[in-house]
Structure 1
Amino acid sequence: MNVKVRDHVIPPDELRWRFSRASGPGGQSINTTDSRVELSYDLSASTALPEGLRERARQHLTGRLVDGVLTINASEHRSQWRNRQAALSRLAAVLFEATAPPRAARRPTRPSKRARERRLESKRARAGIKDLRKRPIAE
């Protein structure tokens, strides 16, 4: 069960699995099956990703990393196998997003003349509506 992130593959020996009893549906068998999955990936010790991608992921995931380890839980399915698949796909999605290159900086532009005119027209219209709320002038 390799995890593919961009052009790199994370081998299964870099992933740590833990299983425990899940809450939720499952009837009486829920008390005997360890269907909840906890997947841990040590991002700082990984050799599968190059240093540049690891650093980018570390910066992007600062709130989710504990001592350089990313942990993902899955317990939405009744079977351990499906929870394992869910955790793997979630790990791939999180790492794909975290290793994305930064977006290009926005080039500042000025509003067009027509856009400025429209803005001022709408402000005048709003001011006119508010003027109608005033008490009429007694003659």
Structure 2
Amino acid sequence: MRKEHKDKLKNKLDETSYEVIVNKGTERPHSGQYNLHFEDGTYTCKSCGAALFTSDSKFDAHCGWPSFDRAIAGDTVKEVFDDSHGMRRTEVVCAQCEGHLGHVFNDGPTETGQRYCINSVSLDFQGK
């Protein structure tokens, strides 16, 4: 993420959102406002406003974070290898601003087999 974008976000985001989006932190499980949120609409990047996921792709994975089985389109999120914290995972970032969203795992219950485990503080929601 570019330094000038980080500087803008410092004034735009609350402390927790900044820590997650810019510094690749993680919100506490079961604490996010979108974990058990199932209204119809679109989840967007809190950093830049890009549309990322729809409510049609959301499911309750009982993991403590909002879970989706696919992004809106193949180019709205990027997947990046992450070997931090002694684990081998795939990080998910917004393709537009490169803000940290969460991680994707290959254990999803739908036909995609994907579970995008996303931090609520990285998202905004626009209802239908």
TM-score after normalising by structure 1: 0.29
**Bigger Rg, structure 1 or 2:** 1
Q: Using CA pairs under 8 Å that are at least 6 residues apart, name the structure with larger relative contact order, 1 or 2.
A: 2
TM-score after normalising by structure 2: 0.31
More strand by share: 2
